[in-house]
Structure 1
């Protein structure tokens, strides 16, 4: 029994670690950067639209697309040597950027992201579908993978048809289109 419990704890820890490493920072995320024994270098920052943060001693640092662990490594590399002997840096996500629901839902808008959120739960948070909503025309545009494609001679954002069980990511835009009866 003890062996099974230990295996379960290790598996859960690895899943959490894999999820944290898979998450990519983007504009709107609120992050905390802590440098052990250096209170002047420990702060909370919201990532701006430029995808950079202004950090003491180092200036502007590009963070969009990095995982929290990759940002930790980048900060350690830049602080080690000229500023600190052996810095210990921790990056935590304090608040994820919001996701958006538009179209045929009762309360379109932006909503706070929570890990494990699915399309059907996101639609529920937005008040559910209207009478005119199409359950077969739900699309999602992922925040960090927006692509421009040509449709009908003009530029447009590529939409991916969504399944209601698909996982929502921070910054995603979910669109529920109107159905014809």
Structure 2
């Protein structure tokens, strides 16, 4: 029995090396990608098993070996007769191959036909925080992009920003990388150029929108979101422009401390919370 277990461990190690080499080759081909592209895996990603996932293991024509097992913290599952098999970080197909090898090398089943199916996804959790309709923690049951998880959380609220902060957790290094993403681009409204895949430990945060207010003699007075740096002249254009009764050079900005209306230049940049007033022209 000791020899059988030794052969099993050797075969399992060889299988892991083969799988690791194939992954390494795949990574080296994309090593020239930009940092943001590195967080955008191709669409053929598959789900990788992780701790606390519950999997169904079926061995064809061997119901006594067909079980449900939970992946342990050390990425292993406990199999009948042969003991532990390490399947964490693998696809269902690769994990099935590891278990098949275990039974064959252990002399339990020759030419074993093994299939694996995840029945309870528990290892891939991601947090969605801030100004979204349903903030909280979500469990991923398939390869998902930022747009998918944002939809799970109900999308941004009416006061949420048009941009979000995506914190990408790297399992290998334990480090975080942060990206500011445009929600319109994520949702494909401005071309799907910023919609990376997400993984366990990632965080999506939608901050409160930065806004400015403009009232008085403009065609569309109200509250407007600041998506990028804009001048006061551009802010007037966003509000529909000045009416016939107004004059753009007469625009004033309210001092948040004193409440006084102060004269400003049209070339100045708009700041979050600015309140502008366009008075009537004096004829």
Note the residue ranges of structure 2 that are not aligned, 5 or more in a row: 1-42, 188-194, 211-271, 273-283
Q: For residue 66 of structure 2, what is the aligned residue in structure 1? A: 42
- Residues 33 and 161 of structure 1: CA distance in aligned 2, closer, same or farther (over 3 Å): farther
Tell me how far 1:132 sits from its aligned partner. Answer: 5.5
User: Quick one: which of 127, 137, 155 aligns to 1:110?
Assistant: 137
The answer to whether structure 1 residue 76 and structure 2 residue 100 are counterparts is yes
Please report the TM-score for the alignment, with normalisation by the length of structure 2: 0.46
Note the residue ranges of structure 1 that are not aligned, 5 or more in a row: 1-17, 150-156
Q: Distance in 2 between matches of 1:119 and 1:23?
A: 16
Q: For residue 152 of structure 2, what is the aligned residue in structure 1? A: 125
Q: What's the RMSD between the two structures over aligned residues? A: 3.0
State the secondary structure of the residue aligned to 2:56: strand
- Residues 61 and 162 of structure 1: CA distance in aligned 2, closer, same or farther (over 3 Å): farther
Task: Please tell me whether Structure 1 or Structure 2 has the larger radius of gyration of its CA atoms.
Answer: 2
Q: For residue 158 of structure 1, what is the aligned residue in structure 2? A: 177
State the secondary structure of the residue aligned to 2:93: helix
User: Quick one: which of 113, 135, 138 aligns to 2:162?
Assistant: 135
Query: Of Structure 1 and Structure 2, which has the larger fraction of its residues in strand?
Result: 1
Tell me how far 1:162 sits from its aligned partner. Answer: 5.0
Q: For residue 96 of structure 1, what is the aligned residue in structure 2? A: 121
State the secondary structure of the residue aligned to 2:51: coil
> RCO higher in 1 or 2 (8 Å CA, sep ≥ 6)?
1
The alignment of Structure 1 onto Structure 2 pairs a total of residues equal to 155
